[in-house]
């Protein structure tokens, strides 16, 4: 596909949205912004909910692709997840289909497969086609989003790269994140690859840096042209000194989803 130039960035006021607002323009993108919260220093951003189908339709009109980050990003009661993440993602895809937008990059999550046991050192990495095992209603909504993306490809020819993001924050802050961290710069590299690779149909990839302690297989991400440059390992000494060696019996280390399997962080709004 020709390199997309104008991107609708949903979730632009959030943590990852804010990082991508500063990093993606370096790749030549013009960003149109969308969030239910106002986006700082962006008077042209669309402030609307994903349930507002009219606003969504207008927001996607004429863009080359959508980077869909908006939604509840932690665990929440099912009714809230249903509205923002399940119906909201459906509304986004319908708007994209009706306006002829050819590609979506969907922020899926490791929590779509969070109940998968984490590999011990020396065991094979978790492949992208491992059965989905959501660890929360949140993870279930990401699993739904991946299936929705497959349906819109099979039925309507709308392409998606579903990126099962690990933890994308400026630095890893826990021992688990040594395995699942994606540096913001690698995040921008991966989203750029997902926005521009040819013939992706619906492709699922894991989103992380080339971590020494990586838990999952980055082959499908590399096949898009993604070349991660970062590794969490330089942070290992400090994090292990602070928090101790990973205990394989601790849910934080025994399952891909970490504490989401037993004590998930709750969406505060």
Q: Which residues bind ligand 15L (CB under 6 A)?
A: 73-74, 109-111, 167
- Catalytic residue (choose from 138, 152, 206, 226): 138
Residues 6+ apart with CB under 8 A from 18: 12, 40
List Cα–Cα distances, 24 to 41, 130, 184, in angstroms.
17, 30, 10
3-state secondary structure of 249: coil
Q: Which is nearer to ligand NAI, 17 or 246 (CB)?
A: 17
Q: Which does residue 239 touch among ligand NAI, ligand 15L, none (CB within 5 to 8 A, set by kind)? A: none
Among 46, 63, 66, 72, binds ligand NAI (CB under 6 A): 72
Site for ligand NAI in 123-182 (CB under 6 A): 165, 167-168
Q: Which is nearer to ligand 15L, 73 or 143 (CB)?
A: 73
The residues pairing with 164 across neighbouring beta strands, listed in sequence order, are 108, 206
Give the CA count within 13 Å in the CB-facing half-sphere of 174: 13
Q: Which is nearer to ligand NAI, 101 or 122 (CB)?
A: 101
Q: Which does residue 88 touch among ligand 15L, ligand NAI, none (CB within 5 to 8 A, set by kind)? A: ligand NAI
Candidates 68, 65, 26; CA nearest to 200 is 65
Q: Which is nearer to ligand 15L, 91 or 109 (CB)?
A: 109
Question: Residue 65 CB, nearest distance to ligand 15L (Å)?
Answer: 21
Question: Residue 88 CB, nearest distance to ligand NAI (Å)?
Answer: 5
Is the CA virtual torsion 38, 39, 45, 50 positive or negative?
negative
Q: How far apart are CA 56 and CA 255, in angstroms?
A: 36
| Residue 206 falls in the annotated catalytic set | no
Q: Which is nearer to ligand 15L, 73 or 91 (CB)?
A: 73
Other residues' Cβ atoms within 10 Å of the Cβ of residue 90: 17
Candidates 116, 143, 107; CA nearest to 254 is 116
Binding characters for ligand NAI, 41-60, by CB under 6 A (x = yes): --------xx----------
* CA-CA-CA-CA dihedral for 156, 157, 161, 162, to nearest 10: 20
Among 1, 23, 27, 37, binds ligand NAI (CB under 6 A): 37
Residues 6+ apart with CB under 8 A from 15: 73, 168, 169
- The yes or no reply on residue 16 touching ligand NAI (CB under 6 A) is yes
Among 11, 134, 228, 251, binds ligand NAI (CB under 6 A): 11
- The yes or no reply on residue 107 touching ligand NAI (CB under 6 A) is yes
Binding site for ligand NAI (CB under 6 A): 11, 13-17, 35-37, 49-50, 69-73, 84, 88, 107, 109, 165, 167-168
User: Annotated active-site positions, please?
Assistant: 138
């Amino acid at each position: 596909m020709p390199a997309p130039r104008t991107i609708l960035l949903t979730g632009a006021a959030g943590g990852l949205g804010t990082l991508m607002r500063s990093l993606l323009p370096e790749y030549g993108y013009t960003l149109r912004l969308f969030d239910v919260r106002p986006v700082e220093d962006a008077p042209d951003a669309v402030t609307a909910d994903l349930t507002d189908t009219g606003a969504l339709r207008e927001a996607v009109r004429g863009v080359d692709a959508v980077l869909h980050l908006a939604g509840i990003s932690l665990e929440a009661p099912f009714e809230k997840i249903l509205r923002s993440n399940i119906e909201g993602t459906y509304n986004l895809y319908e708007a994209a289909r009706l306006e002829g937008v050819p590609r979506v990059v969907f922020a899926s999550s490791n929590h779509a497969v969070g109940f998968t046991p984490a590999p011990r050192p020396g065991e094979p990495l978790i492949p992208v086609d491992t059965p989905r095992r959501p660890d929360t209603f949140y993870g279930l909504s990401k699993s739904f989003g991946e299936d929705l993306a497959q349906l819109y490809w099979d039925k309507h020819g709308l392409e998606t790269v579903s990126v099962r993001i690990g933890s994308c924050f400026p630095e890893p802050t826990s021992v688990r994140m040594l395995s699942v961290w994606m540096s913001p710069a690698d995040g921008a590299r991966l989203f750029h690859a997902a926005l521009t690779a040819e013939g992706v149909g619906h492709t699922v990839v894991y989103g992380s840096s080339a971590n020494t302690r990586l838990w999952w297989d980055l082959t499908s991400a590399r096949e898009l042209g993604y070349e991660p440059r970062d590794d969490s390992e330089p942070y290992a000494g400090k994090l292990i000194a602070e928090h101790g060696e990973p205990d394989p019996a601790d849910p934080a280390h025994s399952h891909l989803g970490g504490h989401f399997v037993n004590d998930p962080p709750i969406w505060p709004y």
